[in-house]
């Protein structure tokens, strides 16, 4: 059974669970249901709302023709919540990459990247620039709060653009870009394949600063980037994709990843 909402995300295989108080409803009926709930259960594949939980009892949203909720997946989610922290084994990547015309082993060899396991639980790290809940690994969340406070003390404002992203969320990015006419090769220059993103670990952050557009190379000209270059290492953060990186990913001055080994 899920306890009353702690500020954490339970990352199940099919569904996830998040504190209901942190999320907006998509209509009046949903608003009433969320208002009386402890947890919101979502489908990891597309983010749709599946059910709410209150004192361990599930109440499913009415969806007409939408796929029926899976009771076994909900039971599995509750089991994951009781199991506590840990990493979810990397699996089910083949269908996602096959949709993109990619082979898991070939992509790993060509890119020099390895599949990234996702945490079973993640910590609430505040809100991002768009007022969405920001989820990170427990230690990365603590480091982010400390780093952001230190930057603020130096007169520099750091914004989180995004934190944890599941492999299915990453796949959604590819689908949206493909719908806009980009090719898989184009997208792979700026996004790693689903299952291979550092964002899956809960350690990575895309960082911005007020007045600057998100995830653009011009971020390197800001005081925020200069501060990160000088100070981020002391908090365990390093820039993952400098110019000419061996993975073939475009230069990303905004993408920083936490590692205990990176602290100086």
Rounded mean pLDDT, 77-83: 77
* Cβ atoms 77, 121 nearer than 8 A: no
Which residues lie closer than 8 Å to 50 by C-beta, 6 or more apart? Answer: 15, 41, 42, 43, 60, 61, 69, 74
- Residue 245 has a pLDDT of 96
Q: Which band of pLDDT confidence, cut at 50, 70 and 90, is reported for residue 149?
A: very high
Q: Which residue has the tokens 């960082």?
A: 207
* Cβ atoms 152, 142 nearer than 8 A: no
* Sign of torsion over alpha carbons 155, 137, 249, 233: positive
Q: Which band of pLDDT confidence, cut at 50, 70 and 90, is reported for residue 82?
A: confident
CATH topology of domain 95-262: Muramoyl-pentapeptide Carboxypeptidase; domain 2 (3.30.1380)
Beta strands in 44-88 (DSSP E): 49-54, 57-60, 87-88
Q: Which band of pLDDT confidence, cut at 50, 70 and 90, is reported for residue 262?
A: low
d(CA 71, CA 154): 51
3-class secondary-structure state, position 37: coil
d(CA 199, CA 239): 13
DSSP letter assigned to residue 197: -
Which residues lie closer than 8 Å to 3 by C-beta, 6 or more apart? Answer: none
Q: What are the tens digits of pLDDT across the range 66-75? A: 566 788 888 8
DSSP letter assigned to residue 240: S
Copy the structure tokens of residue 85: 């922290």
**Domain regions of the chain by residue span:** 8-83, 95-262
**pLDDT at residue 65 greater than cutoff 50:** no
Number of H helices, E strands in the chain: 8, 13
Least Cα distance to 2 among 91, 68, 79 occurs for: 79
Rounded mean pLDDT, 184-212: 97
Q: What are the tens digits of pLDDT across the range 26-61? A: 889 899 999 999 999 999 988 999 999 998 889 998
Which residues lie closer than 8 Å to 44 by C-beta, 6 or more apart? Answer: 11, 12, 13, 14, 15, 16, 166, 168, 169
């Amino acid at each position: 059974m899920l306890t009353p909402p702690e500020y954490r995300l339970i990352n199940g295989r099919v569904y996830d669970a998040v504190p209901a108080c942190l999320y907006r409803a998509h209509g009046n009926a949903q608003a009433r249901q969320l208002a009386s709930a402890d947890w919101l259960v979502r489908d990891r594949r597309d983010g749709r709302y599946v059910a709410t939980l209150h004192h361990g009892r599930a109440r499913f949203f009415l969806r007409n023709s939408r796929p029926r909720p899976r009771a076994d997946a909900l039971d599995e989610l509750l089991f994951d919540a009781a199991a506590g922290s840990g990493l979810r084994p990397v699996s089910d990547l083949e269908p996602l990459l096959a949709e993109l015309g990619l082979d898991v082993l070939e992509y790993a060899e060509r890119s020099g990247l390895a599949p990234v396991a996702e945490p079973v639980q993640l910590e609430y790290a505040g809100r991002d620039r768009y007022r969405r809940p920001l989820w990170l690994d427990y230690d990365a969340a603590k480091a982010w709060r400390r780093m952001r406070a230190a930057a603020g003390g130096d007169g520099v404002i750091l914004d989180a653009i995004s934190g944890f992203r599941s492999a299915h969320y990453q796949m959604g990015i590819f689908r949206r870009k493909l719908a806009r006419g980009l090719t898989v090769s184009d997208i792979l220059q700026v996004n790693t394949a689903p299952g291979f993103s550092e964002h899956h670990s809960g350690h990575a952050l895309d960082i911005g600063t007020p007045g600057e557009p998100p995830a653009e190379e011009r971020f390197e000209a800001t005081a925020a980037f200069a501060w990160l270059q000088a100070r981020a290492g002391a908090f365990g953060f390093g820039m993952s994709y400098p110019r000419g990186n061996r993975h073939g990913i475009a230069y990303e001055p905004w993408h920083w990843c936490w590692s205990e080994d990176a602290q100086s």
